[in-house]
């Protein structure tokens, strides 16, 4: 069984709503243009009067205009559902008491990525809901989506210390869902203050040992939600190196011969490989940052296992496999799928698109195996958007729509990881 969130800002320098453009692709503050020197967004006209001027406004291409309009309609659909009470409160594949809060947080995150401000009534509604019920949350998908929402909100507008305390508490609870293999399962453990302090101490001193129960089907979807949430939660003071390195170790140890990764290594290693490959690449990027960035100097971490091979070669093989899942042709091998858009090997095509977008931005890849992943995916989403602004794919339309917004808006929930990877490429 997969929970409803099987799932599961904007990119550096991109436009506010659709996140279009490739400002993230370039790194210099000062550039030479045909009209002069560009610094801080202004042009010094060296050919004429030498004065600083605002550059001419960039005009969107027809495709970019369609993307913006698509995102705006989708955001209006999600906002309406939150405000009038028609947003989903549960799902047959997510029989957890806290599912409603997780869905609301996913929607709130999508609204932020669509350009809505933290002060928007719908976003504020989600924050108030989280504040009221956070003590009872205990399923991995819900904890992860709540943390993703709070992490992003904290980046856009610094949260109160009490809200940052919620981030720390929920992140520690989420860590308890990691099983010894390095993946996450569905359940977590509610910790009292004493056990929270002990867990923090273990994380800081190299004594951390996963305490999750593996019998409830660990998975790559659960794992990628958890590690993405924890990566952001470290900004609230949560030590996350140990669990993130364990997750990466799992993927380095369990890569398939074709370069991909499946659902889990408990009989489902060749299931949902398209989305599982996105999870593996995400975990490997985090390991690379942890082992090389100064931020993590002093964190206790085991030495790299030479039996696992070179991490860059593992990443390369992963992208080769991911490229095969993008824009499959009629005669290409296809995985079994009940998805409604294009049949990815994943729990949902919209969910898979978000995975592709996420790792492409983190690794700084405008193309994957020479395929323009954004043009391909955005054309599919524009064509399949419903009249009400949502999408119908695998889950409730509100959930599929949130994933679609993440893709179209080029949502980057780990911009600092993007910067870290770019600094070594």
CA distance 35 to 55: 10
Residue 91 in 3-state DSSP?
strand
Pair 35, 24: CB distance under 8 Å: no
Residues 185 and 179: beta-carbon distance below 8 Å: yes
Average pLDDT value for the chain: 87
Tens digit of pLDDT for each residue in 378-400?
999 999 999 999 999 989 999 99
Q: Is the pLDDT of residue 19 over 90?
A: no
- Cα–Cα dist 411/418, whole Å: 12
* Tokens coding 168: 């720390």
Query: What's the number of CA atoms in the CB half-sphere (13 Å) around residue 188?
Result: 28
Q: What is the pLDDT of residue 242?
A: 97
In this predicted model, what pLDDT tens digit does every residue of 32-75 receive, in sequence order? 444 444 555 555 555 555 566 666 777 889 999 999 999 999 99
Tell me the whole-structure pTM to 2 decimals. 0.85
* CA angle, residues 47, 48, 50, in degrees to nearest 5: 90
Of 352, 376, 360, 391, the closest CA to residue 71 belongs to: 391
In this model, does residue 103 exceed pLDDT 80? yes
What's the angle, vertex CA 179, arms to CA 178 and CA 183, rounded to 5?
Answer: 70
Give tens-digit pLDDT for 289-314: 999 999 998 888 888 888 999 999 99
Pick from 226, 222, 316, 227: nearest CA to 272: 222
pLDDT of residue 55: 66
Q: How many CB atoms neighbour CB 32 within 10 A?
A: 10
Q: How far is CA 23 from CA 19, 175, 411, in A?
A: 10, 34, 14
What percent of the chain has a predicted confidence (pLDDT) above 90?
70
pLDDT in the model for residue 43:
58
User: Where do we find the tokens 């729509």?
Assistant: 401
HSE (side-chain half, CA atoms, 13 Å) at 189: 16
Q: What number is the average pLDDT over the span 97-126?
A: 94
Q: What is the pLDDT of residues 167-204, one digit of tens each?
A: 999 999 999 999 999 999 998 999 999 999 999 999 99
**Average pLDDT over every residue of 268-276:** 88
Structural domains in the chain, sorted by start: 60-423 (1.50.10.20)
pLDDT at 325 (0 to 100): 96
- Residue 342 banded pLDDT, cuts 50, 70, 90: very high
Task: Enumerate residues 6+ apart whose C-beta is below 8 A from 116.
Answer: 75, 79, 122, 123
Q: What is the pLDDT of residue 50?
A: 56
Residue 300, pLDDT score? 87
The string of pLDDT tens digits covering residues 353-372 is 999 999 999 999 999 999 99
Task: Check residue 10 and give its pLDDT.
Answer: 33
Query: Which pLDDT score is estimated for 57?
Result: 76
Among the residue ranges 17-26, 144-153, 260-269, 387-396, the one predicted with the least confidence is: 17-26
- Of residues 153 and 215, the one with the higher pLDDT is 153
3-state secondary structure of 255: coil
Express each pLDDT in 207-236 by its tens digit: 999 999 877 789 999 999 999 999 999 999
**pLDDT given at position 98:** 78
């Amino acid at each position: 069984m997969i929970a409803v969130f099987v799932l599961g800002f904007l990119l550096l320098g991109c436009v506010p709503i659709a996140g279009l453009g490739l400002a993230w692709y370039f790194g210099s503050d000062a550039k030479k243009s045909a009209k002069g020197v560009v610094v801080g967004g202004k042009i010094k006209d060296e050919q004429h009067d030498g004065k600083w001027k605002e550059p001419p406004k960039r005009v969107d291409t027809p495709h970019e205009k369609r993307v913006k309009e698509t995102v705006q309609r989708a955001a209006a659909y999600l906002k309406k559902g939150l405000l009038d009470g028609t947003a989903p409160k549960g799902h047959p594949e997510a029989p957890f008491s806290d599912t409603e809060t997780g869905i609301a947080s996913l929607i709130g995150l999508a609204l932020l990525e669509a350009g809505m401000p933290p002060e928007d009534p719908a976003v504020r509604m989600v924050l108030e809901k989280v504040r009221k019920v956070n003590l009872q949350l205990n399923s991995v998908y819900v904890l992860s989506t709540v943390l993703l929402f709070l992490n992003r909100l904290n980046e856009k507008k610094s949260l109160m210390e009490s809200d940052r305390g919620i981030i720390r508490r929920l992140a520690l609870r989420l860590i308890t869902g990691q099983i010894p293999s390095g993946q996450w399962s569905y359940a977590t453990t509610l910790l009292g203050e004493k056990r929270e302090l002990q867990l923090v101490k273990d994380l800081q001193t190299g004594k951390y040992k996963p305490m999750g129960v593996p019998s409830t089907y660990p998975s790559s979807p659960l794992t990628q939600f958890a590690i993405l949430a924890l990566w952001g939660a470290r900004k609230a003071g949560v030590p996350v190196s140990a669990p993130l390195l364990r997750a990466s170790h799992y993927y380095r140890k369990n890569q398939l011969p074709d370069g991909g990764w499946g659902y889990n290594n408990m009989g489902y290693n060749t299931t949902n490989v398209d989305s599982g490959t996105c999870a593996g690449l995400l975990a490997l990027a985090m390991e690379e940052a942890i082992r090389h960035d100064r931020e993590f100097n002093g964190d206790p971490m085991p030495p790299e296992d030479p039996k696992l091979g070179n991490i860059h070669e593992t990443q390369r093989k992963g992208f080769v496999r991911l490229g095969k899942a993008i824009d499959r042709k009629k005669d290409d091998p296809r995985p079994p799928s009940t998805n409604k858009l294009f049949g990815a090997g994943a729990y949902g095509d919209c969910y898979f698109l978000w995975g592709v977008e996420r790792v492409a931005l983190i690794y700084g890849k405008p193309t994957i195996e020479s395929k323009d992943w954004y043009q391909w995916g955005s054309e599919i989403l524009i064509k399949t958007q419903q009249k009400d602004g949502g999408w119908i794919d695998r889950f409730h339309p509100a959930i599929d729509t949130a994933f679609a917004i993440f893709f179209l808006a080029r949502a980057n929930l780990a911009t600092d990881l993007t910067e870290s990877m770019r600094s070594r490429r």
